[in-house]
Amino acid sequence: MKKGIHPNYYENAVIRCACGAEYRIGSTRPEIRVEVCAKCHPFFTGETRFVDTEGKIEKFMKKYGHIYQAKKEGE
Ligand SMILES: [Zn+2]
Q: Answer yes or no: is 45 within a domain.
A: yes
Q: What are phi and psi of 64, to 5 degrees?
A: -120, 10
The rounded Å distance from CA 59 to ligand 1 centre is: 25
The rounded Å distance from CA 66 to ligand 1 centre is: 33
Q: Answer yes or no: is 23 within a domain.
A: yes
Q: What is the largest CA-CA distance in the chain?
A: 64
The rounded Å distance from CA 62 to ligand 1 centre is: 29
Q: How confident is the model at residue 16 (pLDDT cuts 50, 70, 90)?
A: very high
The rounded Å distance from CA 22 to ligand 1 centre is: 8
Structurally, how many domains does the chain consist of?
1
Domain extent at residue 68: 10-74
Q: Answer yes or no: is 39 within a domain.
A: yes
At 36-71, the pLDDT tens digits run 888 887 766 665 656 666 677 778 778 887 776 677
Neighbouring CB atoms inside 10 A of 38's CB total: 11
Query: Within 1-75, where are the H helices?
Result: 42-45, 56-74
Q: Answer yes or no: is 2 within a domain.
A: no
Lowest-pLDDT range of 15-24, 27-36, 66-75: 66-75
The rounded Å distance from CA 36 to ligand 1 centre is: 4
How far is it, in rounded angstroms, from Cα 67 to Cα 70? Answer: 5
Q: Answer yes or no: is 1 within a domain.
A: no
pTM exceeding 0.85: no
CATH number for the domain including 15? Answer: 4.10.80.400
